[in-house]
Structure 1
Amino acid sequence: MKRLDFSLLSVGELAAKLGVASATIRRWCRAGKLTETLRTVGNLRRFASCSFSHLIKKEERRSIGYARVSSHDQKSDLQSQIQRLKDSGCDEVISDLVSGLNCKKPGLKKLLEAIWGRTVSSLTLRHADRLLRFGKELVFYRCKQFNVSIQILDDPEGEAFETELVKDVITLMTVFSARLYGKRSWKNRRALEQTQSNSVPIGN
């Protein structure tokens, strides 16, 4: 027996599935061509996927692996991670070469978009900290909500993990110091400009 998908889609999600603009979905609702399944407490429309299954193009969910290293001198380790993930049976491997403290990784963004788009069946990592140094538990929680299973291939890293953690701490201190000094510099400039604007020239 075929199971129906009763997951709820927002206006934007349904628009993306149907390949139209969000404004078009709202216009169709006003014209009676579409009917939302329910309204949220905030009065937002929600649509049941099963009601539009005949219109939505089916996409196969795939298993994705994610690999990451912090610096260019770890490229060999990155290739090792990628090969390990491929050997584990991942359909696709996404990788990043950037610090674990950086949340703006292009590969990570691509991964999250795929998970949010419900096209991922499983996420495989060689080590849990390859995803993020801090905050990975939140990503794992969202994966659970989207029925994405998590697989960690190896035990926590030893010396390599500690070495990279030291690098991340140094990076964090450097960024913090730069922002602190930048803020102080900005305040000093503002104070100087204020002093100059308030000064009255003495006539001859």
Structure 2
Amino acid sequence: MSRYISISVAAKTLGVSIQTLRRWDEEGVLVADRTPKNHRRYDLSKITPELIHDLAIQNNRKTIAYARVSSHDQKADLERQKQVLEMYCAKQGWTFELISDLGSGMNYRKKG
């Protein structure tokens, strides 16, 4: 017997947002069954590791994480920002690239 789960449980299981599941339903990528009150329900037996892998490849997106401080005195803060961003992106299971910037819009040719 099939076990149906809500869209929020399906989103957590697949590691995507609810909005992504709604878009996939509209695009026909992962179609949900509907309740009499038109709520989306997903058949848990159809959410397999192979499906998760295929959807991850199909949804080939990269997140850009950006860390910045304005002076060399804040270099330790920049390292902490980078660590926090890396941990967050990894925890979310995202493919990501971290960009960091040290400096400001100051004129470095100015005396003093």
> TM > 0.5 between the two?
no
Structure number with greater Rg is 1
Q: Which one has more relative contact order, counting CA pairs under 8 Å at least 6 apart?
A: 2
TM-score of the aligned structures, taking structure 2 as reference length: 0.42
Task: Return the structure number with greater strand share.
Answer: 2
TM-score of the aligned structures, taking structure 1 as reference length: 0.24
